[in-house]
């Protein structure tokens, strides 16, 4: 029996998903993306899970989409099959926060997958790129849209049109990654952050993610209105009462995630 394309484990309220095509530097093919989407939706529906960590191995988070699987496809085929969009955007349906823990290469589709996560923690050996221009194509899983929102138009143009790699330090300066962490500490520090988030009230975490995404995707007026509605709605939760009572009583809150 072949080994799973996505390895899974759970620590507390955190699910860790590991891309597992090491011989192909975790190149993202249809089978892997189907397996990843299934796992993501399953943990999103699991009431015992609050946070998902997505990672690869020390050499590569994911070195792009599988070129061998796409090189002979025709325009008619990629259009009819909804190539890439069919299963790549499942991750965008997940309401719980997803942290990408990136070591080594995050290239092409790998960079795009990392950008679909809610935050990126990068090992100090991480390298990011959208090198599709070198193949006679352009990014096809949101790279030309998410990259400018993260790093600005000029740097995005530089990266997309030259296909050059950007190291972790430049990626942090540009705003693509949240933290740069020594490679040997990447998973331990990522898990510390994930566990901290998982200790918060899940309804609040989900609402906070949705509100920040409104800022990313819409106007300021719409975003502030959404934030206010979310803020008000959380006063209907058990955890709001518990959190504020614990603050007044100078004790740690015992959130029930409801």
CA distances, 207 to each of 5, 18, 117, 234 (Å) = 31, 26, 16, 8
Residue in 132, 141, 143, 171 annotated catalytic: 132
Tokens 């909804």 locate to 82
> Under 8 Å CB-to-CB from 249, ≥6 apart: which residues?
none
For the chain, what is the radius of gyration of the CA atoms? 19
- Is 65 considered catalytic here? yes
Residue in 63, 104, 112, 194 annotated catalytic: 112
Are β-strands 6-11 and 14-19 bridged in parallel, bridged antiparallel, or unpaired? antiparallel
> Under 8 Å CB-to-CB from 145, ≥6 apart: which residues?
none
- Is 170 considered catalytic here? no
**Residue 66 DSSP SS3:** coil
Residue in 39, 63, 65, 171 annotated catalytic: 65
Residue in 109, 142, 143, 243 annotated catalytic: 109
- Is 109 considered catalytic here? yes
- Is 156 considered catalytic here? no
Query: Which residues participate in catalysis according to the annotation?
Result: 65, 109, 112, 132
């Amino acid at each position: 029996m072949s080994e799973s394309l996505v390895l899974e484990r759970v620590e507390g309220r955190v699910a860790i998903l590991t891309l597992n095509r090491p011989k192909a530097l975790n190149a993202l093919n249809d089978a892997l993306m189907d397996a990843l989407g299934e796992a993501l939706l399953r943990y999103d529906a699991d009431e015992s899970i609050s946070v998902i960590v997505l990672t690869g191995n020390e050499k590569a988070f994911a070195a792009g989409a599988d070129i061998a699987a796409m090189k002979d496809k025709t325009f008619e085929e990629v259009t009819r099959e909804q190539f890439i969009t069919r299963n790549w955007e499942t991750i965008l349906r997940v309401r719980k926060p997803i942290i990408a823990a990136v070591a080594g290469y995050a290239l092409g589709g790998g960079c795009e997958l990392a950008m679909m996560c809610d935050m990126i923690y990068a090992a100090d050996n991480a390298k990011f790129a959208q090198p599709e221009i070198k193949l006679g194509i352009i990014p096809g899983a949101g790279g030309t849209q998410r990259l400018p929102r993260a790093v600005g138009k000029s740097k995005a143009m530089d990266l997309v049109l030259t296909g050059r790699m950007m190291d972790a330090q430049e990626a942090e300066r540009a705003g693509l990654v949240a933290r740069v962490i020594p490679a040997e500490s990447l998973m331990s520090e990522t898990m510390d952050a994930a566990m901290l988030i998982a200790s918060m009230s899940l309804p609040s975490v989900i609402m906070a993610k949705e509100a920040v995404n409104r800022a990313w995707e819409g106007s300021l007026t719409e975003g502030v209105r959404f934030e206010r509605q979310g803020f008000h709605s959380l006063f209907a939760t058990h955890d709001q009462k518990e959190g504020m009572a614990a603050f007044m009583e100078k004790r740690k809150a015992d959130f029930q995630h409801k």
